[in-house]
Structure 1
Amino acid sequence: MNSSDFTISLAGEWRVRATAERTGNNDGAPFQADAVVRLPGALAAQGVGEEISVNTPWVGSIFDPAWFTEPEYARWRVPGNIKVPFWLQPEKYFRGVARYEREVEIPGSWAGRRVVLALERAHWATRVWIDGREAGRNDSLSTPHEYDLGAGLAAGKHTLAIEVDNTVVIDVGPNSHSISDHTQGNWNGVIGRIELVATATAWLDEVQVFPSVAARSARVRGRVGGAETLSAGAVARVRVEKQTADGSPGDAAQARTAAIGKNGVFEIECPLGADAELWDEFNPALYRAVVSLENGEARAVTFGLREVGTEGTQITVNGRRVFLRGTLECAAWPLTGYPPADVESWRRMLRAARAHGLNHIRFHSWCPPEAAFVAGDELGFYFQIEVASWPNQGTTVGDGGAQDAWLVREADRIVRAYGSHPSFMFFAAGNEPGGPHSAAWLTYWVERMKALDSRRLHTCSAGWPEIAASQYHVTHWPRTHQWLDNLKSRLNALPPETRTDYRDFIGKRAVPVVSHEIGQWCVYPNFDEMPKYTGVMKPRNFEIFRETLAEHGMAGQAREFLHASGKLQVLCYKEEIESALRTPGMGGFQLLGLSDFPGQGTALVGVLDAFWEEKGYVAPEEWRRFCAGTVPLARLERRVFEAGDELRAEIELAHYGPAALEKAVVKWRLVTGNGSAVTEGRLTPPQAVATGALTALGRVEVTLDESMLADGGAARKLTLVVSVEDGDGGARAENDWDVWLYPKNGSAVRAPGAAPRDAVLVCSEFDAAAEAALREGGAVLLAIPPERVRGDAKHGRVELGFTSIFWNTSWSNRQAPHTLGILCDPAHPALAGFPTESHSNWQWWHVVSRASAMILDELPPELRPVIQVVDDWFTHRKLALAFECRVGAGRLLVCSVDLREADGANPVVRQLRASLLRYAAGADFAPRVELAAEQVRDLFTRR
């Protein structure tokens, strides 16, 4: 018979009764169904559950209670218009115990065979009954639930009942992505394979493969259940075959046999040949070990010939140093509300990650289904798997609670189910644990797992703590130590040219360090993605944000906000990723994340949306310039120059490709906006570059003379482009960095208050002189000191920073900054002398660090700022650094950038001041919106 003769799929219709309590076996009473649903599937997706309300019993911490209490959210707390801003909202919600029942028919050909019920990815705890007889319980969040129904099932119909409990069965932490509503949702059901399998009375209970790169062999270990029913001297037969691209078997090595011990255990070494291919990100070669018994039982296990280790503070794969370029996968699947169990869905996600130069995925506080490992094996991805726990919100480990024992059981189950997959390279007990005894307990966990399985590296947890037992650390300290030294540095503490690397931190560590959850830089919501939510999860949070944007008179600017904030986000990610790549000996980084995180108040941190699709402001090719296996790097002493200054840059190459570069040719050029070079050169001679390291290539030094300015000696942006090519037409990598060149002495400006009537009055107070000049039809530049700008009644002053919002203001207690960069029209004549794009770039740091954002909410909606600031999507204030208006017969240009030192050492602010003045003095200065003097005065505090 074929193996399909001994498998019956139970996919299809099931009767269900959903209650808030455990159902037991009904004590023989007839089963009363509430509905008929399909499995695989989940209840909420099929309309079973309660309507969302203010009393919905969510699983997940709600750090910001504003939705429940604040009047501005009252309209979204009304039945029929419930909209929550914390996460994606399911159409229905069920939290409790559901009992699923159906009839199954056992064929006569199964007589005398052992019958097993397999439930892949149940959520969460299950119990099973066959004809009223309980068959057992299971509480794994990560692995299939299997139930041995015995060898005595008679042919014919039987009643099968499955109870699924999606309450918090074990306290693994309410925010664990394995159970929380923040991402996948707290669903009830079974979403993978549901089948009955008939085995012989002796069966292959477990098969694991332990490859050896040095020996080019694979040790196959297994255990036979019911081995006592085999004949004396029974053996396990093992055949290893190459797996082809389409998954079919290829060439096979000669079969070998191993004796089965009395305890059912067997072990055999299988040589693969001297030319056996190694598995890694560049060549994901796969093999399959097929194990069979004399009674016809067989199992195939896919594996790769690979070993992961460490060399100092770097990670190695097959002896070659690698750099982990990773992102988090937080179980956010917005169409279904649960993770997919099919391979193609995972291939699609991993291909998107690979297109952006990544080689690593961290599964934050959960473990994916088998299909993810299959896709990771095929595509050569390096997975960090975590036991399904985030124990720091009222939950601890190491205190002897039920979660301690469960975490050990779950880790064992994960290794048993997925341990041979080559993509399963790193293992952690969970995320950011808490508790006074956590370090001691995590030491026990790591030591236990290292002794159990040497096929991967183990760390105690993601984030913290660092313990001696860990083989590598995943820690937030590198980015905190240098680039984000404290919360103030998210604002204005560090200019762009001071950010270098993390070597001071890495040099003090003995094992590899992978930087934890870097980035978290937000963008404005992409309302254009809302039609994609055709499944059970709905973007009611986006609906709230879109409605409030319209109420603030800026509905037409949503795409502009997305694009401007997106460009700033990419700028921040580029600098942070390059800081990691510039660090000698660093192990890698893990982004949070490449895709959006839909929970925790809506954390729009991705350059991809929650569907892993592009948002339109950065292409994968652009991202790979600074995030790939081979990346040219430049250590620039500064970004802003005056004519006559010298640009100096140390050029390095972070090269983690498959092989060394034999003759690396390094070229550089300094180009204008249209791509034409003002100067160029080559670092000579061609040089060999080892793989697995950061290599210094040389130094670029060029004098930026006046000939490089724009026509008429005007300021301009230039871009330093560095390319590295291996020999003539070989592998090529390119990267670039913007710099700005300004005239040496700026532009002459008349002294404030001394201009004739037809010139511009420059003042820092909206005083009698300013009002008089306006009454007489004059032009006034009001450069108000930033400290005089008013805040709003509820939130106070706008905390303006150069970087975008970290995570989001709702979930971070309004941690600064509160804004998402600037937005302007580069073609506006007020900016004609100030080289800029429509969004923030590094030169704006020198402006924003000496500015405050004006709140224009009380002004006419048609007023469009000259320099706008993109606000937080929870507040949607109309913010500006500069705007223009008419006051009486006069024309007023208001700026909240500190221009008082414009003749000093800040050529950027000096240039902005000159550009604004030239505009205010010209015929183009013709504001259309009229304001009263008091409306202007109310924007600022009185002296």
Structure 2
Amino acid sequence: FLRGTVECAAHPLTGYAPMEKAYWLDLYQKAKAYGVNHFRFHSWCPPRAAFEAADELGIYLQPEGPFWTNHGTAVGNGWPIDQYIREECDRILRAYGNHPSFVLFAYGNEPAGRHQITFLNGLVDYWKEQDPRRLYTHASIGGSWPLAPSNEFIVCSGSRGLPWDRRPNSEFDFSGKIAPFNVPYVAHEMGQYCVFPNFEEIPKYTGVYQAKNFEMFKAELERKNMGPQARDFFMASGKFQAICYKNEIEASLRTPGNGGTQLLSLNDFPGQGSALVGVTDVFWEPKEYITAEEFRRFFSPTVPIARFPKFVYSNDEQLTVAAEVAHFGPEILQGCLPEWKVCDDKGKIVAKGELPATEITFGNLALGRISLSLDFAREAGQYKLSLSLGKCSNQWDFWVYPASLPEDDITDIFVTDDYKQAAEQAQQGARVLLLAAGKVEKGKEVVQYFRPVFWNTSWFQMRPPHTLGILTRPEHPALAAFPTEYHSNLQWWELLHNQQVMNLDDFPAGFLPIVQPIDTWFINRKLGLIFEARLGSGRLMVCSADISSAPDQRIVARQMRHSLLHYMNSEQFAPPFEISQEQLSALFEPGHDDNYDVRTSDSPMDLKP
């Protein structure tokens, strides 16, 4: 099973790939600490030192020809590029073909051309005849590209993605995507989940490049009066990025017969608008929201797997989870005793058990089922299931909510979905809960999915989603009855996916929402999902997430409403900031704002011939 990363030739200190073996030994060791055993070099071939280091450390390499013939050119049309491809690929195979780490090869990335398959399939046949010591594929491709019949393995994006347009679960896998093929199938460019820039990286650019992109993003954030939140945005979006990678990688691991995955990527890519998709920075230095050891729990030769049908439960339900292991280590593991435990958010064990001892053979193996009643949870809470096999362990968060709640007391709270009524009541001194779901005008151009930004919004023409998860304040008393961390996690799906956000740019400079969606760093709008404010002599709570509909089916939303109302009934409900009626009205009145649609159908400058 290939646990790969895509190496995109980003070397900001030199501007070129270092030629020293010591550099590549260090880079591969850093990658191995995260569980990586494979590198795909995206549309380029590394220097000899990279092969020598990989030979020494046991890294499987997929170099490629220096070709992404898709923008302004094409293959198979008899143009000079065809001859160049043949000759350059021949040179690569002659120069580096004797290295044992050189196990895979492709012409390059995502070609164009009506005759691409005829040309590239012939090239694969030629390579196989000339040097059969490795496996060949015509190209590394997205899901809409055709496949060459002579491929000995496939690198394609079909076996990737998180189906989070539906409630998250960990039962799905990619079996249906790989089933039609009888050669190994490797996921192309898996991941690409963005994190907010870490401006503390700017001083690291001591070579030929300066971090002008980061400097611009930082200046824009400061212009929007959110400079002090930069680190919080980075950490919160990073925690969620790690959750996304874990869930997608585990889906790949639990797919029987899968060939592996190539992450895009373990480190950041500073080009194409700034693709901040790595759990390390562009220098391969760790980002502190996840350690190499934590990442390796789900990206290593032996990974315990749990198939959750869902991650949100009520306390009158039974948790039933299928336990498995994905084992691709060097030997069969004898006499393993799978052990599991469930802990609360304080680390207290609330349940534990063992599954039958077994021999762990290669591939995917069922270990048994974990089942327990959740009636131990008297209040809403976050829990963690841990599954261990000797030194290998993995863990998953899940949430348990009361099956029923007492009726909320709204005697002293005016609840409405009409902002005019909300303003009128607040001016008269009332406590007001404004349910703004579906009502927002100022901010409606910001599209929020549960998944974060893919690659980056600049490269993909500002297509949605536009947010990077949320930053919230779990210590705020409004969330006292709603268990949460400071970042998005799976229980938030109900409150975030396809929910409106509010643009609070015109609010007071230091204004902090209780729940703040993190905007794409190219625009840095101050966004709110839930905020409180004084208005006139009254107090106002505004929520643009739907916390009203189908409460018996949407128990997370029901719990949020309960928590907000409990807070609003208390003496703690004392919003620190005041807003005007005009500022409130601007959120909901058509034409009362400076909305603009930043999406475009034009190509990024990098793609224009």
Relative to the length of structure 2, the TM-score reads 0.95
Contact 1:358 1:627 in 2 (8 A): yes
- Residue 349 of structure 1 and its aligned partner are, at CA, apart by 1.1
**Counterpart contact for 2:344–2:382, Cα < 8 Å:** yes
Shift of 1:858: 0.8
Aligned equivalent of 2:67, options 389, 402, 427: 389
* CA spacing shift, 1:385–1:848, aligned 2, 3 Å: same
CA contact (8 A) 1:802 1:849 kept: yes
CA distance in structure 2 between the aligned counterparts of 1:902 and 1:437, rounded to whole angstroms: 53
Relative to its length, the structure with more helix (as a share) is: 2
2:551 & 2:41 partners in 1: Cα distance?
52
Q: Distance between the aligned counterparts of 1:931 and 1:504, measured in 2?
A: 53
Say yes or no: does 1:612 pair with 2:281: no
For the structure 1 residues 856 and 448, does the alpha-carbon distance in structure 2 shift closer, same or farther, using more than 3 Å as the test?
same
1:789 to 2:462 alignment: no
Are residues 721 and 694 of structure 1, via their aligned partners in 2, closer, same or farther at CA, if it must alter by over 3 Å? same
- The equivalent residue for 1:697 is 367
The offset of 1:399, in angstroms, is 1.1
- Alpha-carbon displacement from aligned partner over 1:822-858 (angstroms, at most 9, x marks no partner): 1011100010000000000000001112621100001
Q: Which amino acid aligns with 1:476?
A: S
2:179 to 507, 524, 534: 507
1:232-271 superposed matches below 5 A = none
- Greater CA radius of gyration, 1 or 2? 1
Q: AA paired with 1:788?
A: K
Give the 5 Å matches for 1:923-934: 923-934=571-582
* Matched position secondary structure for 1:606: coil
1:767 to 415, 420, 425: 420
Amino acid at match of 2:426: L
Q: Which residue of 1 aligns with 2:91?
A: 413
- Partner of 1:458, secondary structure, is strand
- Contact 2:171 2:307 (C-alpha < 8 Å) held by counterparts: no
**Conserved 8 A contact 1:384-1:426:** yes
The one-letter amino acid paired with 2:203 is: P
Q: Are 2:381 and 1:716 aligned?
A: yes
Deviations 1:38-97 (A, max 9, x none): xxxxxxxxxxxxxxxxxxxxxxxxxxxxxxxxxxxxxxxxxxxxxxxxxxxxxxxxxxxx
Which residue is equivalent to 2:129? 451
State the percentage of identical aligned residues. 46
Q: Which residue of 2 aligns with 1:466?
A: 147
Q: Secondary structure at the match of 2:94?
A: helix
Instruction: Give the whole-Å Cα distance in 1 for the aligned partners of 2:78 and 2:550.
Output: 64
Q: Report the residue type matching 2:369 in the other structure.
A: R
Aligned to 1:823: 471
* Paired AA for residue 789 in structure 1: V
Match of 1:355 among 5, 13, 33: 33
In 2: Cα distance, 1:771 partner to 1:601 partner: 42
| Deviation for aligned residue 1:497 | 1.6
AA in 2 matched with 1:704 = L
Amino acid aligned to 2:264: L
Question: Corresponding residue for 1:200?
Answer: none
C-alpha deviation, 1:776, in angstroms: 3.2
Residue deviations 1:13-36 (CA, integer Å, cap 9, x gap): xxxxxxxxxxxxxxxxxxxxxxxx
Letter in 2 for 1:938: A
User: Cα deviation per residue 1:736-787 (whole Å; 9 max; x = unaligned)?
Assistant: 111001111024124xxxx44xx2111111233x3343233221111112x2
Answering whether residue 502 of structure 2 is matched by residue 854 of structure 1, we say yes
Give, as a single letter, the amino acid of the residue that structure 1 aligns with 2:178: I
Shift of 1:398: 1.1
Aligned-residue offset at 1:813: 1.1
Deviation at 1:553, TM superposition (A): 0.3
Q: Superposition RMSD on alpha carbons, in Å?
A: 1.4
The equivalent position to 2:236 in structure 1, one of 552, 558, 564, is 564
Amino acid at match of 1:926: A
Match of 1:630 among 278, 302, 306: 302
2:106 equivalent in structure 1: 428
Paired residue for 1:749? 408
Q: Does the CA contact (< 8 Å) of 2:156 and 2:188 recur in 1?
A: yes
Aligned-partner Cα distance in 1 for 2:234–2:25: 28
1:669 maps to 2:334:
no
Q: Which letter maps to 2:385?
A: L
- The letter for the 2-side match of 1:845 is W
Kindly state the Cα deviation for residue 547 of structure 1 after the two structures are TM-superposed: 0.3
C-alpha separation between the residues in 1 aligned to 2:498 and 2:457?
22
Aligned-pair CA distance for 1:352: 1.3
Matches of 2:462 and 2:151, distance apart in 1: 35
Distance in 1 between residues matched to 2:303 and 2:110, nearest whole Å: 31
Equivalences for 1:580-659 in 2 at 5 Å? Answer: 580-659=252-331
Give the equivalent residue in structure 2 for 1:479: 160
**Pick from 202, 205, 210: which aligns with 1:530?**
202
Deviation at 1:876, TM superposition (A): 0.3
The equivalent of 1:171 in structure 2 is none
Match of 2:596 in 1: none
**Distance of 2:157 and 2:551 partners within structure 1:** 41
- The residue number in structure 1 matching 2:607 is none
Question: Is structure 2 residue 486 aligned with structure 1 residue 838?
Answer: yes
Q: How is 1:313-332 mapped onto 2 (pairs within 5 angstroms)? A: 323-332=1-10
In structure 2, the partner of 1:21 is: none
Structure 1 regions of 5+ residues with no counterpart?
1-322, 485-491, 726-731
Which residue number in structure 2 is paired with residue 551 of structure 1?
A: 223
Query: Which residue does the alignment assign to 1:864?
Result: 512
> 1:575 — aligned with what?
247
Asked if 2 retains the 8 angstrom alpha-carbon contact of 1:746 and 1:907, the reply is no
Secondary structure (helix, strand or coil) at the match of 2:386 reads strand
Report the CA distance between 1:413 and its aligned residue. 1.2
2:398 matches 1:739: yes
Q: How many residue pairs align between the two structures? A: 588
2 CA distance for matches of 1:677 and 1:519?
33
* Residue identity matched to 2:2: L
Q: Give the secondary-structure state (helix, strand or coil) at the position aligned to 2:510.
A: coil
User: Following superposition of structure 1 onto structure 2, how do residues 229-308 of structure 1 map, counting pairs within 5 Å?
Assistant: none
Secondary structure of 1:808's match?
Answer: coil
Match status 1:660 vs 2:332: yes
1:674 is displaced (CA, Å) by: 2.4
Counterpart position of 1:808: 456
Q: Is the 8 A contact 1:850 1:897 kept in 2?
A: no
More strand by share: 1
Measured in 1, the distance between the counterparts of 2:326 and 2:558 equals 37
Q: Distance in 2 between matches of 1:601 and 1:747?
A: 50
1:942 positional shift: 6.0
Write the mapping of 1:188-199 to structure 2, written as runs, cut at 5 A. none
Deviations 1:287-330 (A, max 9, x none): xxxxxxxxxxxxxxxxxxxxxxxxxxxxxxxxxxxx00100011
Deviation at 1:368, TM superposition (A): 0.3
Which structure has more RCO (C-alpha within 8 Å, separation ≥ 6)?
2
Deviations 1:521-579 (A, max 9, x none): 00001100110000011111111100000000000001000000001111111111011
Which one of 663, 688, 692 corresponds to residue 359 of structure 2? Answer: 688
Deviation at 1:519, TM superposition (A): 0.6
Farther-moved stretch of structure 1 (896-905 vs 588-597): 896-905
8 Å contact from structure 1 (residues 791, 855) kept in 2? yes
State how far apart, in whole Å, the 2-side matches of 1:326 and 1:549 are. 34
CA contact (8 A) 1:360 1:383 kept: yes
Alpha carbons 1:568, 1:803 under 8 Å: kept: no
Q: Distance in 2 between matches of 1:909 and 1:399?
A: 57
Which amino acid is the alignment partner of residue 468 of structure 2? L
In structure 2, stretches of 5+ residues that fail to align are 592-609
